[in-house]
Amino acid sequence: YDFTEGRGSRLAGYFEALIYALIILTVLVGILQTVQGHENDLSELEWVAVVIFTVEYLLRFIGAGADPAFAHISNPVLKRMRFVVSFYSLIDLAAIVPFYLAFAMPGSWVDRHDEYLRMLRLLRLLKLDKYVPSISLIDDVFRLKKDMLIVTGYAAGTLWVLFTGLLYVFEYRDSGNDIDPVPVYGCDDDCTMMDRFRTYLDSMVYTCVHLTGDYPIISYSGAARVTCFFMVIAAVGVVSIPSGLVANGFAELVQTTSRKRHGEAIPTGGNAGDDWYEIRLRELEGTDPPPSRFCGPCGSLVDRWQIRTNNFLNGQVDPRTGKEVHTCGSHFFRFFMMTLIILNVIAVLLESIPDVDRGVGNLPGNFFDDFESFSIFFFSLEYALRLFSARKNLEALYSPFVYATTFYGIVDFLSTAPWYVERICLALGMKESADASTIFRIFRIFRLLQLEDFLVGFRKLDNVFRASKDVLKATGLMAVIIWVGCGALFFIFESGNPNWRSCDDSIPLRDTYVNGSLVPG
């Protein structure tokens, strides 16, 4: 039992890692084998995986007597029988047994439907729930949020029924909104919205999709469009609440479980997701910045200029209010730099439009090039000043190296470096090309990140991800399982459907011109 759980020895840990690696590989192989012409690709890997999974299953069967889940059963035979009908055992059997049956009985029903039975291999993804609990938490989440889910589920269901009725009434005779050239539901020509909304049950499918906030269909009559407007409000205000409740329930349960498992504590005065930077920043708060590395009168002069430069760029903290105070000159410089950043982004967008680029003369020395040189001067000046004053800047942890290697410094560097690289390449005799110019030009869009000086956003994302890592892992695994599982169900149910949006040779796959006329694809 300990060996299959990855405990007791290094070999056990390697075996467990091998099992989970094979789960992912076999799922990917199973997906590949649904592609026409690749049905038997990597079948040798599947053979090896099935043998290893069989060995693992036998080891788990033997070790079931030591499984705490069956500790309440005294009879060793009954323990193993209870293991055979347990959830994860049934998953293993569903993934393994069809393989042996198809091999042992060629030409049988199992062999003829092998492509569908292969989809059972995807159930192996559920075994990953051991390391990242997700599926096993579903019942706990629903119990936790049961009362609120009942209320909001009733409201969402009622709205679904009502809006379905309205769309059906407004569209089941709508022969005016043409939806050719793609036929739907057996309609070959002159297809209209009434072909989609032929019955109340047909209408329920589209209404349910709309209530999720998705609108793949827009060819509605006027009355139906008014209905859709109110459906958008309902989707945001009512129907989205159950999904929010489930997500919140997952967050509560996963974070509680994680704290109990790891015994993690949030640092005093800190926030969930804080890393070394935030911890070090709190340690330095209230301390004086270190003196300049220069000695003598020169050092004191550098200190004064570093303090003045830092106050000019970042403001000075008022000890009474704790807020940053800026001089008029500092305010003007910050406003000027913010405007310059926005204008640079606009310039990149305008330069990408051929007509605009030609209008200003797309040759070296045009308006855009002059504006770029002007911008580079101020961006480079600001970067140099921030490096110079970093030893007096608390947010840089009083270190030029920290500034240069963390978010602000990297963004400031990326806003200027591509221009200098381009100039160096041209100075070395490399020929300027339109493609190279486009690449260097697009790099300027990174200057948008410099607005972080004024609005906090991206630099807090890593904190958010660290604080929510357990929740993201759990919900991410569930999303993958649902994605892959539903993909398998669509493959099983729709791979033999010859008529859903079927196209013939008269319908091109892409827009083409026939006798000078555009034929949409």
Task: Say what the pLDDT of residue 363 is.
Answer: 64
In a domain, 453, yes or no: yes
Asked if residue 356 is part of any domain, the answer here is yes
Check residue 385 and give its pLDDT.
Answer: 92
Does a structural domain hold residue 167? yes
The enclosing domain of 243 has a CATH number of: 1.10.287.70
Q: Does residue 243 share a domain with residue 355?
A: no
What's residue 261's pLDDT? 55
Last residue of a domain, one of 97, 131, 165: 131
Q: What is the pLDDT of residue 111?
A: 61
* Residue 481 and residue 372 in one domain: no
Q: Are residues 429 and 315 in the same domain?
A: yes
- Distance in angstroms (rounded) separating the CA atoms of residues 372 and 366: 10
**Alpha-carbon span 137 to 481, nearest angstrom:** 14
Domain identity same for 436 and 371: yes
How many angstroms separate the CA atoms of 74 and 355, rounded?
83
pLDDT of residue 110: 64
pLDDT of amino acid 274: 56
CATH number for the domain spanning 384: value is: 1.20.120.350
The confidence score (pLDDT) of residue 309 equals 92
Name which of 459, 455, 377, 371 is nearest 416 in CA terms. Answer: 377
Give the pLDDT score at 384: 92
- Do 396 and 306 sit in the same domain of this protein? yes
CA–CA dist 42, 35 (Å, integer): 13
In a domain, 429, yes or no: yes
What pLDDT does 198 receive? 81
Asked if residue 222 belongs to a domain, the reply is yes
Q: Is residue 278 part of a domain?
A: no
User: Last residue of a domain, which of 85, 106, 131?
Assistant: 131
State the total domains in the chain. 3
| Residue 283, in any domain of the structure | no
Residues 250, 204, single domain; the answer is: yes
Task: Give, for all 521 residues of the chain, the pLDDT tens digit.
Answer: 778 777 778 888 888 888 888 888 887 887 777 777 776 777 788 788 888 888 888 888 888 877 777 777 778 788 888 888 887 788 788 878 877 777 777 777 666 666 666 667 777 777 776 666 666 677 677 777 788 888 878 888 888 888 888 888 888 887 776 555 444 445 555 667 777 788 888 888 888 888 877 776 667 888 888 888 888 887 777 767 777 777 777 677 766 666 555 555 544 455 555 566 777 888 888 788 888 877 767 878 888 899 999 889 888 877 777 677 888 988 899 889 888 888 888 887 787 777 776 676 556 667 777 888 898 899 899 999 999 999 988 888 888 998 888 877 888 888 888 888 888 888 887 776 655 666 666 667 777 776 766 666 556 666 666 666 666 777 777 777 778 777 777 777 776 665 544 444 444 445 555 555 555 55
Q: What is the pLDDT of residue 505?
A: 47
HSE-up of 361 (CA within 13 Å, CB side)? Answer: 7
pLDDT of residue 514: 56
DSSP string, 7-58: -SSHHHHHHHHHHHHHHHHHHHHHHHTTSTT-TTTTHHHHHHHHHHHHHHHH
Same domain as 402, residue 318 = yes
Claim to verify: residue 178 and residue 126 sit in the same structural domain? no
- Spatial distance between the Cα atoms of 505 and 512, rounded to a whole number of angstroms: 13
Q: Classify residue 186: in a domain, yes or no.
A: yes
Which of 131, 162, 184 is where one domain is finished?
131
Domain that holds residue 389: 293-459
Q: Note whether 71 and 125 are same-domain residues.
A: yes
DSSP H helical segments within 263-353, as ranges? 276-284, 296-314, 328-351
User: What is residue 381's predicted lDDT score, i.e. its pLDDT?
Assistant: 92
Q: Are residues 362 and 243 in the same domain?
A: no
Q: Are residues 87 and 226 in the same domain?
A: no
* Cα–Cα distance, 69 to 215 (Å, whole number): 47
Same domain, 207 and 329: no
Tokens for 351?
């330069």
Q: What is the sign, positive or negative, of the torsion defined by CA atoms of 199, 205, 208, 214?
A: negative
What amino acid is encoded at 34 in this protein? T
